[in-house]
Amino acid sequence: MWSPWSQVTDCMPACGPGTQTRQRQRPCVNRPGVTQFDVQTFACQTDPVDGRGGEWSEWAVTSNCQAYCGRGLAKAERSRECTNPAPSCGGRRCSKAELVGKSYKPCENFACGPICPADFKEYVSQYSPAQGFYIQCRKKSGYIRRCPTGLGDDWLDLRSSSMLGFNDVYSVCSGNYRYG
């Protein structure tokens, strides 16, 4: 009597056209101690498998808070591996965009206090964090900006940008306000 069929083997080779086999056995009736094998072979085809991203990691903040003081945003990233499934048989690999997530997370530095005291939409602080920089205030948060250099095109661009407080930027960057 034949044994049950074995499990079918994986397709070999692992990619493209190949074969799978299964087998069973029984003892030979006329020859004691000799086993007879029956093997079946099947054609198979393993198609390309495109990779997909697995589970996302936790968000990791990758930059300082954009606000000098008050509330702002910080860049954050998360990643995952191309393992759900991994690409095989010439399948498409995961792109970087599929494996790296980028976002911004809320953050808060010290309270602005007298640096940006008003809740106006946008204005220039009378304080400067260091020579060559000014602080642009927005709703009680302050953002460091670099002063335009020289008296050339940078100043003309700033003046024509309809930015609030052009004269204040000019005063702070010219050294007429205190450094805080």
Q: What percent of the chain has pLDDT over 90?
A: 41
- What's the rounded Cα separation, in Å, for the pair 157 and 63? 28
Give the span between the Cα atoms of 166 and 170, in whole angstroms. Answer: 6
User: Per-domain residue ranges for the chain?
Assistant: 1-46, 60-108, 123-173
Q: Out of 2.60.120, 2.20.100, 2.60.40, 1.10.405, which CATH number does the structure's domain 60-108 have?
A: 2.20.100
Both structure tokens of 30? 């006329």
Give CATH for domain 1-46: 2.20.100
pLDDT tens for 3-59 read 999 999 999 988 889 999 999 999 988 888 899 999 999 999 999 999 988 888 999
Q: Can you tell me the distance from the alpha carbon of 136 to that of 134, in angstroms, rounded to the nearest whole number?
A: 7
Do 1-46 and 60-108 fold alike per CATH?
yes
| 104 φ, ψ (degrees, to nearest 5) | -125, 140
pLDDT tier for residue 180 given thresholds of 50, 70 and 90: very low
DSSP single-letter state for residue 33: T
The vertex-114 CA angle with 110 and 120, nearest 5°, equals 95
E-state strands within the chain: 16-27, 35-46, 60-61, 71-79, 100-108, 123-124, 133-138, 141-146
Q: Is the pTM of this model over 0.85?
A: no
